[in-house]
Structure 1
Amino acid sequence: MTGTVAPGVPATMRAVVYPAAGPLSASDAFVDAQLAVPEPGPHDLLVRVEAVSVNPVDVKRRASATPPEGGGVLGYDAAGTVVAVGEAVELFAVGDEVFYAGSVVRQGTDAEYHAVDERIVGRKPRTLSFAEAAALPLTSITAWEGLVDQLGLGRDSRGTLLVLGAAGGVGSMVVQLAKTITGARVVATASRPETVSWVRGLGADHVVDHSGDLAAELAEVAPEGVDWVFSTQRTRENLELFVEVLKPFGRIVAIDDPTGLDVGALKPKALSFSWEYMFARSTFGTADRIEQHRLLDSVAELVDSGAVRSTVTRVITPIDAAGLAEAHGIVESGRSIGKVVLSRS
């Protein structure tokens, strides 16, 4: 390895691979394996991974993305300690504790060691454990970019934000960040007593039930309509509702994968629609990808100040094939609250 390397970094590591795309019910959906420790590039950190979390993107890729020969390593969220740095690294040093969301075009984090571009890495919140920190990166980046870059919200924004699926991983961070980095009033959706309680605890101004007559419930808490929509789920099914409840010139940002989406109905109100995909910067190596480093450092400051909290609700140990299968099952159920994390210890 070039650059600076901590003593004791081995040549091989424990990892969890998925041999083929398919259902979680397959006997070999995940397999424990021994792989070579990745070689960090010039701008890379080599991180000893202490905790990871599972997101819907992990579930989707395990089910449908053909892995490379020999099996693929999934996982994007991670928290751990830097054990080596590439020769061009400027932001971090060996021994730093970090958290980040990785890249879909590189080997994943479900392993003992992981190489990641320093420009998409943040300093781990000092007040959180590795497990608590691992719950935050992907959802924080998605929420922040959706609110700020796509919806254009800031501290001076005044109006009503509707958050669909607010008890999930991303929704939980959208609610918290909307209340801390924007001036929006937050109306969140949830459908079960436990999810309603969770969302209220995150700071939502109002909670409405997305399993019933959502338009009628919205009319009670926002009779004048809403200004922005952050849709984490069922965007195609709810598009007609969005058109109905949004004020003219309102904005929608979505993160799910709807098919057959017809946005023509948005034109009469001059509504705007955009996608948020937090892997766009890392996938295409954009010149501004260091913004994700800055964003995560800002989230860490918010956490350490007490303004934002971790959304972990379940910790599974250790990081192995059986644990990943359990975590994927929880996320795949569609009924999980907050985030599921796997911790080395």
Structure 2
Amino acid sequence: MKAIRIHAYGDASQMQLEDAPVPVCDAGDVLVRVVAAGVNPIDWKLRSGAMAHGIPKTFPFALGSDAAGVVTAVGSAVSGFATGDEVFFYAEFARGGSYADYVAVNASQVALKPRTVSFAAAAAMPTPAQAAWTALMETAKLERGMRVLVHGGAGALGSVAVQLAKLQGAYVIATAGTTDLALVKSLGADEVIDYRTQRFEQLASNLDVVLDTLGGATQEASWATLRKGGLLVATATPPSPERAAAAGVRAAFVFTPPRGVVLAQLAALVDSGHLRILVGQEFALADAALAHRLGESGKARGKMVLHVNAPVA
């Protein structure tokens, strides 16, 4: 099979499209022929070596963890999936390898693909959508009437978070760039703040929850927007417990494990018309390095997706 692999940590020039062995489908796995693979920031962090201490790898290894495709083999201990099933997933980072023709993934991390969207849209979902779910539905335990600020409302994670928060009956404020204001409003945000021309900390206050997808100066400015006892949930940079205590609020950092049961619930929301998935730029598998360079430059528009194979073999 073909796969994008690296033989050493480094910049995007390390990424090579090359022949690789088809992964072994263990007893608890399904083997998936990948149709589309999602590109996430952690992919270039793994490639660069920034995650080498926490997620060690053996070279060479294929990049990627998000994907959508068709099951071609089912492990002996697996039930609930059959060859020919259209599925999507985010494989654990210690394994990964979705920038490839085939990937073996533990069946517990897999769900049937939403019927109503393309493979590319399904591949754009797993990591950011599960992160939004974990942050709002589980960590923040969002309830009707809560006031929520979502940073990066047009992003892969933020766009799902805006919709989930609105479905829960929250009052949703989101930040976005000038060109994305109307889009984020269409997702259900009650207020959209243009981060390029407005200071959100002057416009949002008495919040129950802030979903911080950016860290840095955005996280620092967010403390003042929370009510006493409110919660800042971060997905990019772990917040300081001392800073939270000084502000009289709570803080949590979300690292989302891959779970097929959560993906199944998200797929149901997509198929019922309650959740839209935004796909940004799309590339051929051979152009994966270009996607990484765009992502690292900060010039990517939305969630990037790689087209790997045609839907039908």
Same fold, TM-score > 0.5, yes or no: yes
| CA positional deviation for 1:122 | 1.0
2-structure distance, mates of 1:32, 1:239: 38
| CA positional deviation for 1:183 | 1.5
> Is 1:189 aligned to 2:175, yes or no?
yes
> Is 1:233 aligned to 2:214, yes or no?
yes
2-structure distance, mates of 1:200, 1:330: 26
1-structure distance, mates of 2:46, 2:111: 25
2-structure distance, mates of 1:196, 1:326: 27
SS of equivalent residue, structure 1 residue 216 = helix
- State the match for 1:20 in structure 2: 8
SS of equivalent residue, structure 1 residue 229 = strand
> Is 1:142 aligned to 2:109, yes or no?
no
- State the match for 2:261 in structure 1: 294
> Is 1:151 aligned to 2:140, yes or no?
yes
Cα pair 2:156 2:303 within 8 Å, conserved: yes
The aligned length equals: 304
SS of equivalent residue, structure 2 residue 189 = coil
Cα distance 1:132–1:17, how it changes in 2: closer, same or farther (>3 A)?
A: same
Please point out which of 62, 84, 87 is paired with 2:47: 62
- State the match for 1:278 in structure 2: 256
> Is 1:169 aligned to 2:169, yes or no?
no
Deviations 1:279-318 (A, max 9, x none): 3xx5xxxxxxxxx22211111111111111121122222x
| Percent of residue pairs identical | 37
Off by >6 Å, runs of 4+ in structure 1:
none
Please point out which of 181, 187, 206 is paired with 1:202: 187
2-structure distance, mates of 1:152, 1:122: 23
> Is 1:245 aligned to 2:225, yes or no?
yes
Cα distance 1:187–1:335, how it changes in 2: closer, same or farther (>3 A)?
A: farther
Cα pair 1:75 1:108 within 8 Å, conserved: yes
- State the match for 1:133 in structure 2: 122
SS of equivalent residue, structure 1 residue 196 = helix
SS of equivalent residue, structure 1 residue 341 = strand
Matched AA of 2:128: T
Cα pair 2:154 2:176 within 8 Å, conserved: yes
Name the TM-score, length of structure 1 as normaliser: 0.83
2-structure distance, mates of 1:334, 1:213: 21
Is 110-119 or 163-172 further displaced after alignment?
Answer: 163-172
Deviations 1:17-66 (A, max 9, x none): 02221122x3xx21111111111111100000000010111121112255
2-structure distance, mates of 1:18, 1:112: 16
2-structure distance, mates of 1:232, 1:243: 14
Name the TM-score, length of structure 2 as normaliser: 0.91
For structure 1, the residue ranges without an aligned partner over 5 or more in a row are 1-12, 283-291
| CA positional deviation for 1:232 | 0.3
Is 264-273 or 14-23 further displaced after alignment?
Answer: 264-273
> Is 1:328 aligned to 2:282, yes or no?
no
Deviations 1:130-149 (A, max 9, x none): 11211111111100011111
Cα RMSD of the aligned pairs, angstroms, is: 1.9
SS of equivalent residue, structure 1 residue 114 = strand
| CA positional deviation for 1:173 | 1.3
2-structure distance, mates of 1:244, 1:187: 15
Matched AA of 1:207: V
2-structure distance, mates of 1:167, 1:295: 22
- State the match for 2:305 in structure 1: 341
Cα distance 1:335–1:159, how it changes in 2: closer, same or farther (>3 A)?
A: farther
> Is 1:114 aligned to 2:114, yes or no?
no
2-structure distance, mates of 1:265, 1:137: 31
2-structure distance, mates of 1:40, 1:215: 50
SS of equivalent residue, structure 1 residue 208 = strand
SS of equivalent residue, structure 1 residue 60 = helix
Matched AA of 1:227: D
SS of equivalent residue, structure 1 residue 203 = coil
| CA positional deviation for 1:70 | 4.4
1-structure distance, mates of 2:58, 2:264: 36
- State the match for 2:275 in structure 1: 308
Matched AA of 2:213: T
For structure 2, the residue ranges without an aligned partner over 5 or more in a row are none
| CA positional deviation for 1:239 | 4.1
- State the match for 1:10 in structure 2: none
Cα distance 1:107–1:137, how it changes in 2: closer, same or farther (>3 A)?
A: closer
**Pairing 1:213-224 to 2, within 5 Å after superposition:** 213-218=199-204, 222=205
